[in-house]
Structure 1
Amino acid sequence: MKTKGEGRNAAAKIKDYAYGKTPDRFKNASDLQVRFRTGFIYVVLSVVCLLASEYTTLILLAVTAGVCAGEFFYMLRKDAKLPNEILGIASAVMYPIGVFFCGHNGIAIVAIGEMIALLVWYVFYSRARIADVSVSFFGSAYCGLLLCGFMVIRMSIPGFWGGVLALCVFATVWANDSSAYLVGRKIGKHKMAPRISPKKSWEGFVAGLIGSMAAWCLFTFIPGVVISIPQALCFGLACGCAGVLGDFAESRIKRNAGFKDSGTIMPGHGGLLDRTDSLFLVSTVAAVLLVLGGCIPNVF
C-alpha cells in the first residue's frame, strides 16, 4: 500500500514527464494563457456533453456535483468540521440522477434517504456533531440539488434542441462571468464587497448583467421555447444577480475556511467549484422562471 509521500512522488514524476513532452511554445505560459486553455477545454467538454444526449448531460452534472462536493468538504474539514464526505458526495451525485429517473420526486427520495443515513451516522458515531450533520447535508444540496435545474431544462425539450437550451443557460453564465471579468479588470474601481471578493467591482457587475441579459435573448430563437424579448431581459437580469450571489456565497465559504481556491483541478481557475459556483443558483432560478413563466413544458 502506497504512503502519501510515495503517492505525491509518483504524481510529481508524472507531471515532470508530461512537462518534458510538452512543446516549448506551450511552456512558461502566462496566467491568462493558462486560464484560457483550461477554460477552453472545460467549455468544449461541456458543450459536447450537453448536446450529445440527456445521458451525457446527466454524466456531466453528476461528475460536476461529485467533484464540487469533494472540494467543498475538503475546505470545511480544514475549518475544523467533520463532514461525512462519503454520504455527502454520494448524495450530491444522486440528486441529478434522481431527477433524471424519478423527476421532482427524485429530489425528495435522495434528500430523505440522505437525512436518514446521516442520522444513523450521528447516533452511532460518537465524534459526530450536529454541525457535522448540517455541513454534510448542506454540502450535498449546495453542490448537487442546485444543479438539478439543468436536468429539468435539458429534458423539457426532447432531442438536440433540449441540449441547445441547456447550453444557452450555460452561455448566460459564461457571458456574465466573462463580461464582468474583462470590464472589471480594465475599468473596475468601485469594489462591491472587498471583504468577501476583493476583485469584484460594480463596473464589472453591471457589465455582467448586460452580458447575461444579451445572452438570454438567444432563447427566443430556440424551437419549443416560448419567450418574448422583455421576458428574456428580465430573466437575464434575475439570473445575472443569481450568478453573482452564487459567486459571493462560494467566496464567503473559502474566506471562512481560509482558502484562496477550492482546489487545483483547473489550472488558472482553481478548483471546479471556483468555476461553477455561479451555475448552481442560475440553474435553479432559470428552471423555475422558464417553467413558471410557461416558456418550456414541465415534463415532470
Structure 2
Amino acid sequence: MSNLVKRAIFGSLYVGLILAALLLREHLVYMIVFGLLAFLGTWEWSNLVSTHRLFPLRRIFDATAAVYLFWATHEIADKGIAYAAFLVPYAGYLLYILVRSIYSERQAMPTDLAKVIFGQIYVGGFLSIANIFYTDTDTSIILLTIFVSIWANDTGAYLAGSTLGRHKLFPSVSPKKSWEGFVGGLIAAVVATGLLLGWEQCYIGVIISIAATWGDLFESMVKRSVGVKDSGNIIPGHGGILDRIDSLLFTLPFVAFFLWVLYTYQLIHLA
C-alpha cells in the first residue's frame, strides 16, 4: 500500500471520528474520542521531550492525568463552577510530581519537571478548552468550525505552497513552509469559516489560520530540537496524534480568548 493511499485512508478515519464526536452530540462518543487525543498526545509529548527513558507506568500516569483534566473541565463547563472541586485530585497529582522531584538525584530533573508540567498545560489544558464550546449547543458550531477551518487551512496551504511557494515563511523551523502557502491557507480558512458561521463572522478564520500556523511551527520547532520527523507513528502516513492536533492546541485558546475579549467589549459598550 502506497504512502498516499495510507494517508487518504487513515486521514479519512481520523476526520470521521472527529466529526462523529462533534455531530452526534453523544457524550460518551465525545469523551472517548477527545480522551484518546488527550492521552495519546500527552504520551507522545513525554516521549519527545524527556531527557531520559521514562518508565511506561510514568507515561501512563501523566497521560491519564491529562484525560482526567479534560473530563473535569467538561463537568465544570457542563454543570457549573460548583463542580470545580473535581480539579482537586488533578492538583494533587501535580503536587505529587513536585514532591517526587525533591527526592530525585538526577541533575536533569528540574528540566524534566518543567517539561512534564508544560505538557499537561499544552495538551490536557489547551484541549480542555474545547469543552467550553461543546457543552453549549449555541457555541458547539464554533468548535466544528475550528476543526473544519484548520483542515481547510492545511489543504489550502499545501496546494498553494506546492504550486506557488517561493518565499520561505520560517526556514529555520520548517523549511517547506512558504508565505504563498500561508496566504493560501488563510484564504481557505476564511472561506470555511464564512460558510459555517456566516460571512459576517468570517474574520474568525483569520485568527484560526494564524493560530494554526503558529501551532504547527511550535511542534516543528520541538521536533527539530530533538531530531525527529514525527511525534509518533500511531496514524500510518500521518505520524503521531500531536502531528494532527498541534494546530488545534494553539487555535482553541486563541479563539476562546479572542471571543472573550469581543464579548467583554460588547458588554462594556452596551452598558
CA distance in 1, matches of 2:96, 2:195: 43
Q: Give the Cα separation in 2 of the matches to 1:177 and 1:107.
A: 36
Seen in structure 2, the aligned counterparts of structure 1 residues 80 and 236 have a Cα distance that, compared at 3 Å, is same
Q: CA-atom RMSD, angstroms?
A: 2.5
- Structure 2 counterpart of 1:155, from 135, 154, 160: 135
Higher mean C-alpha displacement, 49-58 vs 264-273: 49-58
Per-residue CA deviations over 1:52-110 (Å, capped at 9, x if unaligned) read 22332222221101101111111223x44869534421222122111111237479646
Q: Are 1:271 and 2:240 counterparts?
A: yes
TM-score, with length taken from structure 2? 0.85
Tell me if structure 1 keeps the 8 A contact 2:38–2:123. yes
Aligned length: 255
> What is the distance in 2 between the residues matched to 1:293 and 1:111?
31
Aligned to 2:146: 169
Q: Which residue of the partner structure matches residue 4 of structure 2?
A: 32
Provide the rounded CA distance (Å) in 1 between the counterparts of 2:85 and 2:125.
10
2:35 to 62, 68, 84: 62
**SS of residue matched to 1:270:** coil
Partner of 2:14: 42
Which residues in structure 2 correspond to 1:45-194 (within 5 Å)? 45-52=17-24, 53-77=26-50, 79-80=51-52, 85-103=59-77, 105=84, 109=88, 112-127=91-106, 129-157=109-137, 162=140, 164-194=141-171
In the superposition, relative to structure 1, how do residues 33 and 111 fare at CA in structure 2: closer, same or farther (>3 Å)? same
Unaligned runs of 5+ in 1: 1-27, 222-228, 296-300
* C-alpha distance in structure 2 between counterparts of 1:289 and 1:106, whole Å: 27
Quick one: which amino acid aligns to residue 210 of structure 2? C
Distance 2:74 2:85 in 1: 8
Deviations 1:104-160 (A, max 9, x none): 7479646633431211211233337111111110111111111112111111217xx
CA deviations on 1:239-280 (whole Å, 9 max, x unpaired) are 211101100110011011110111111111111111111010
Alpha-carbon separation, structure 1, partners of 2:180 and 2:71: 39
Q: Distance in 2 between matches of 1:233 and 1:167?
A: 14
SS of 2:238's partner is: coil
For the residue of structure 1 that corresponds to 2:202, the secondary structure is helix
Q: How many angstroms apart in 2 are the aligned matches of 1:196 and 1:107?
A: 39
The 1:189/1:108 distance shift into structure 2, 3 A limit, reads farther
Structure 2: stretches of 5+ with no match in the other structure: 265-271
The offset of 1:41, in angstroms, is 0.8
Instruction: Flag the structure with larger Rg.
Output: 1
Contact persistence 2:156–2:185 (CA under 8 A) = yes
Conserved? CA contact 2:189–2:208, under 8 Å: yes
CA distance in 1 between counterparts of 2:262 and 2:22 reads 23
- 2-structure distance, mates of 1:289, 1:110: 30
Q: Does 1:290 align with 2:259?
A: yes
The separation in 2 between residues aligned to 1:198 and 1:107, in whole angstroms, is 44
1:99 and 1:106 in contact (8 A); partners too: no
Correspondence 1:248 to 2:217: yes
Give aligned-pair identity as a percent.
32
CA distance in 2, matches of 1:215, 1:42: 19
Of 157, 177, 189, the residue aligned with 1:200 is 177
Q: Distance in 2 between matches of 1:72 and 1:33?
A: 27
CA shift in 2, pair 1:96/1:184, >3 Å: same
